[in-house]
Amino acid sequence: MHKLIHTNVGRLFFFVFLGFILFLAGNRVDELRVYQGATLAMFVVAISSVILLTGYSGQVSLGHGALLAIGGYSAVLARNYWSLPIWLCFAVAVLVTAAAGSVLGTAAARLSGPYLAGTTLALAVGLPSVANQFSFLGGEQGLIFDVGMPPESLGAEFSPYKWYFWIAASAALIAIWWLQNILRSRYGRTWRAVRGHEVAAELAGIHVGKAKTLAFTVSSGLAGLSGALLAMTIGTVSPSAFPLTLSFSLLTGAVLSGVTTLPGVMIGAVTLVAMPEIASAISHRLGDSDVVTQNLPGVLVSALLILVVLLVPNGPVEQLRTLRIRKNAKAHL
Question: Tens digits of per-residue pLDDT, 181-202?
Answer: 899 899 999 999 988 888 888 8
Q: Which has more pLDDT, 298 or 241? A: 241
CB atoms within 10 A of CB 92: 21
Question: Are residues 90 and 218 both part of a single domain?
Answer: yes
Question: Are residues 6 and 59 both part of a single domain?
Answer: yes
- Mean per-residue pLDDT for 214-228? 95
Q: Which has more pLDDT, 96 or 28? A: 96
Question: Are residues 301 and 152 both part of a single domain?
Answer: no
Question: Are residues 70 and 215 both part of a single domain?
Answer: yes
> What's the pLDDT score for residue 303?
83
pLDDT tens column, 77-111:
999 988 899 999 999 999 999 999 998 888 777 76
Question: Are residues 236 and 270 both part of a single domain?
Answer: no
Question: Are residues 304 and 233 both part of a single domain?
Answer: no
| Report for 10-14, 60-64, 234-238, 294-298: range of highest mean pLDDT | 234-238
> What's the pLDDT score for residue 16?
66
As a whole number, the mean pLDDT across the chain is 83
CA–CA dist 333, 321 (Å, integer):
19
From residue 75, give the alpha-carbon distance in Å to each of 88, 194, 210: 8, 33, 28
Question: Are residues 96 and 153 both part of a single domain?
Answer: yes
Binned at pLDDT 50, 70 and 90, residue 217 comes out as: very high
Where among 195, 227, 242 does a domain terminate? 242
- Mean per-residue pLDDT for 116-143? 81
Q: What are the start-end ranges of the H helices in the chain? A: 2-26, 31-50, 64-82, 86-108, 114-131, 160-183, 186-196, 198-203, 208-234, 244-257, 265-285, 290-311, 316-331
Question: Are residues 205 and 303 both part of a single domain?
Answer: no
Question: Are residues 216 and 274 both part of a single domain?
Answer: no
At 274, the amino acid letter reads A
pLDDT of residue 6 exceeding 60: no
Binned at pLDDT 50, 70 and 90, residue 226 comes out as: very high
Angle at 83 between CA 88 and CA 129, to 5 degrees: 85
Where among 242, 264, 283 does a domain terminate? 242
Query: What does the buried/exposed string (b/e) look like for 113-147 if buried means 16 or more CB atoms within 10 Å of the residue's CB?
Result: eeebbebbbebbeebbeebeeeeebbeeebbebeb
Would you mind telling me the total number of residues written for the chain in this entry? 333
Question: Are residues 178 and 266 both part of a single domain?
Answer: no
Question: Are residues 18 and 163 both part of a single domain?
Answer: yes
> What's the pLDDT score for residue 233?
93
Where among 242, 274, 308 does a domain terminate? 242
> What's the pLDDT score for residue 14?
60
For the chain, the domain total comes to 2
Are 193 and 201 in contact by the 8 Å Cβ rule? The answer is yes
pLDDT of residue 258 exceeding 60: yes
Q: Which domain holds residue 179?
A: 2-242
Binned at pLDDT 50, 70 and 90, residue 25 comes out as: low
DSSP β-ladder status, 236-237 and 143-144: antiparallel
- Mean per-residue pLDDT for 240-248? 88
At 295, the amino acid letter reads N
> What's the pLDDT score for residue 151?
72
- Mean per-residue pLDDT for 309-326? 77
Closest C-alpha to 19, from 153, 159, 176? 176
CA–CA dist 218, 104 (Å, integer):
12
Question: Are residues 6 and 84 both part of a single domain?
Answer: yes
Q: How would you class 80 by CB atoms within 10 Å of its CB: exposed for 0-12, middle for 13-18, buried for 19 or more?
A: middle
Decide: helix, strand or coil at residue 255.
helix
